[in-house]
Amino acid sequence: MQTLSAPPRYFQELLLSQLRGFLGDAEPGTLELLLPHLQWLELAGGETLMSQGDPGDAMYVLVSGRLRALMAGEDGQPRVVREIPRGQVVGEMSLFTDAPRSATVMAVRDSVLVRLERAAFRHLLSTNGLVSISLTRQIIERLSTQDAPAPPDRPVTIGLLPITDGLDVRAFAERLAEPLRRTWRVALVDSSRLAAALAETDTAPLNRRVAAEVDEIAAAHDVVLLLADATATPWTAQCARHADELLLLADADAPPKLHPIETACLMPPGGSTGAAEVLVLLHPGDRRMPRKTAAWLDRRPLADHVNIRPTLDRDMARLARLQTRTATGLVLAGGGARGLAHLGIYQAMLERGVEVDVVGGTSIGAVMASAVASDQPWDSTLASLRKGFLRNPTGDFNWLPLLSLIKGQRMKSVVETCIQEVMGHAIDTEDLWKNFFCIATNYSQARQSVLRRGLLLKALQASVAIPGALPPVVRDGDLLCDGGTFNNFPVDVMRQMRGVGRVLGVDLVTNKPRRIDNEHVPGSWELLLDRLRPRSARRFRLPSLAAYLVNATILYGMSRQERTRRMTDQLFNPPLTRLGLLDWRKFDSAVRQGYEHACEVLDGKPPA
């Protein structure tokens, strides 16, 4: 890290804009009093700004570049906490406390910062009340919202690197720029634009000249697309070095082997610095579903992947939203047959043009989320699901219930048939068009598992395997069961998905109490005789064993309900009258009730 004695004008203008955003409605003149106390710094890519446990002695504003925060995990290995884009403030609490640094912060790429030392801050406090009040107010406001979702880590410079031969990077960049330009100022930069800088033969001066020119372009734009060459040229290496995030473009039909660009220009596996790499697999526009995505993912240390049909405007718009962190995530909760209402809610979204980019869910919500993520024609998808679930997937009771009350073979058959009819063939979770996750409870490790890889059928089986009701699933040596035990409404997981800026959630839990008027719980024979009576004449209003197990599974999720709901940007909570957890025969009623509720919410009408 070294001092930058004479920052260029565009950096100074960018800092002023960032400080105005940080200080908000500060008193006039505050900026002029603060600026002389700021020290300009340069941090090279891979260099450490602060280490976890170091004494806190200053705060920083990231003017240009990108930082990465890491913390030591339980195994002692560093794990990425978050990425910090330009304009963010780092380490502000050190101005008030002597607490050590809570994380290690490193530069993803060459970065420019300003530093306010604690001594300078205290001098301002003692000599100028105007700056003192403004800074203190802003830091208190930041602390009061520390539980709110983290600000979007939107990358500014995005490198486009082809990792299969024959790709037209310029044409792809132009297609990506179309939806971006509707909201953002976009620049496309290739080697011809920086020809003078690339003429430099010494590596260090070349890095500085390219960084300066890229930073100057970035200061005037919201998104800069760096278009790499088709081979591992010096310019391609510079694209990798100066990008906040890298899109690795690949023809999905090509062999998934490593390309020379990857071996020559990218950070080796396990590196803690270097831009995050996102694999973008390019498919023909008429392809029904991707295949064999796993072969690409297994060979690369990736932050994420996206399946895209470049000829489809909606796919390119989805990629643009993911890159600008404005994508919409949809979370579908578990709840047995009540989860059929998810289908009606999504139908109402489709009719109103609500675009969903990432989907996740738990239990029956996971099954419905996978149908959304398949991105197939909705009418035929709905028909296939209707045919499958009207077969009563929980109707094969186990006459020797050593592990589960229900055999689970019918549930497996229903889900497997729906996958076959909707998607055309058995697929892996990573082969869905829209990025998808589902939640299972890892019985072996006493924690939740977020499933994003592997056979989709097995992932869904695990997510719906209600303990005691359906048999658990063995996966990679672990015993998995229904995710509702840990996280029935996984909005928190969606908030961590790359690119998601807005979250829609469908929660099926109601707060309506169910009063039991009987003085005692009957014995087995007494209850059996009562169940033989007509429903209207029964004495005991108790749930069936299967329904009791389903409800008990999600009780912990209900305890987290209010906090989770607050994390959504728009919540759907259909009342679903006269619909039990195992009422699969009421498919049409559940879909209709979900649809009507969603129409009310989306159209802004108060519920009846």
The closest of 288, 203, 279 to 245, measured between CA atoms, is 279
Does 202 have pLDDT greater than 90? no
pLDDT band at 41 (very low <50, low <70, confident <90, very high): very high
Does 135 have pLDDT greater than 70? no
Which three-class secondary structure string do you get for 480-495?
Answer: EEECHHHHCCCHHHHH
pLDDT given at position 212: 83
Does 425 have pLDDT greater than 70? yes
Q: What angle, 0 to 180 degrees and rounded to 10, lies between the N-to-C axes of helices 169-180 and 313-323?
A: 80
Which residues are 449's β-sheet partners? Answer: 440
CB-based contact 430:453 (threshold 8 Å): yes
- The residue ranking higher by pLDDT, 6 or 338, is 338
CB-based contact 207:169 (threshold 8 Å): no
pLDDT given at position 554: 61
Mean pLDDT over each residue of the chain, to the nearest integer: 87
pLDDT given at position 201: 66
Q: What angle do CA 412, 418, 424 make, to 5 degrees?
A: 120
DSSP state of 428: B
Residues for the chain: how many in total?
Answer: 608
- The residue ranking higher by pLDDT, 586 or 515, is 586
pLDDT given at position 521: 72
The closest of 48, 53, 42, 31 to 6, measured between CA atoms, is 42
What phi and psi values does residue 6 have, to the nearest 5 degrees? -130, 80
pLDDT given at position 523: 72
Q: How far apart are CA 290 and CA 428, in angstroms?
A: 9
Taking only the tens place, the pLDDT of each residue in 506-516 is 999 875 555 66
DSSP strand E in 131-275: where? 157-162, 186-189, 223-227, 245-251
This model's pTM is above 0.85: yes
What phi and psi values does residue 518 have, to the nearest 5 degrees? -75, 150
pLDDT given at position 606: 58
Q: How far apart are CA 451 and CA 447, in angstroms?
A: 13
- Percent of the chain at pLDDT > 70 equals 86
pLDDT band at 209 (very low <50, low <70, confident <90, very high): confident
Q: Which helix (H) or strand (E) holds 354?
A: none
What phi and psi values does residue 261 have, to the nearest 5 degrees? -60, -40
Per-residue pLDDT, averaged over 240-265, amounts to 95
Taking only the tens place, the pLDDT of each residue in 69-84 is 998 877 777 888 888 9
- Percent of the chain at pLDDT > 90 equals 57
pLDDT given at position 389: 95
Taking only the tens place, the pLDDT of each residue in 90-129 is 887 777 777 888 889 999 988 999 998 888 888 777 776 6
Per-residue pLDDT, averaged over 467-480, amounts to 91
The token pair that represents 594 in the structure block: 């979900």
pLDDT given at position 46: 87
Task: Give SS3 for 121.
Answer: helix
Does 39 have pLDDT greater than 90? yes
Per-residue pLDDT, averaged over 395-419, amounts to 90
Sheet holding 39-43, edge to edge: 2-3, 39-43, 111-117, 58-64, 89-90
- The residue ranking higher by pLDDT, 208 or 397, is 397
The CA-atom distances, in angstroms, between 606 and each of 276, 333, 446, 601, 602 are 44, 23, 42, 8, 10
- Give the distance from CA 222 to its chain's centroid: 21
- The residue ranking higher by pLDDT, 352 or 267, is 352
Q: What angle, 0 to 180 degrees and rounded to 10, lies between the N-to-C axes of helices 341-351 and 587-602?
A: 40
Per-residue pLDDT, averaged over 196-215, amounts to 77
pLDDT given at position 81: 85
Per-residue pLDDT, averaged over 153-170, amounts to 95
Does 504 have pLDDT greater than 80? yes
pLDDT band at 295 (very low <50, low <70, confident <90, very high): very high
pLDDT given at position 28: 63
pLDDT band at 463 (very low <50, low <70, confident <90, very high): very high
pLDDT band at 580 (very low <50, low <70, confident <90, very high): confident
Taking only the tens place, the pLDDT of each residue in 352-389 is 999 999 999 999 999 999 999 999 999 999 999 999 99
CB-based contact 542:517 (threshold 8 Å): no
Does 269 have pLDDT greater than 60? no
pLDDT band at 145 (very low <50, low <70, confident <90, very high): low
Which residues are 105's β-sheet partners? Answer: 50, 69
pLDDT given at position 128: 66
Does 151 have pLDDT greater than 80? no
Top mean-pLDDT range of 278-292, 399-413, 534-548: 278-292
Q: How far apart are CA 391 and CA 130, in angstroms?
A: 71
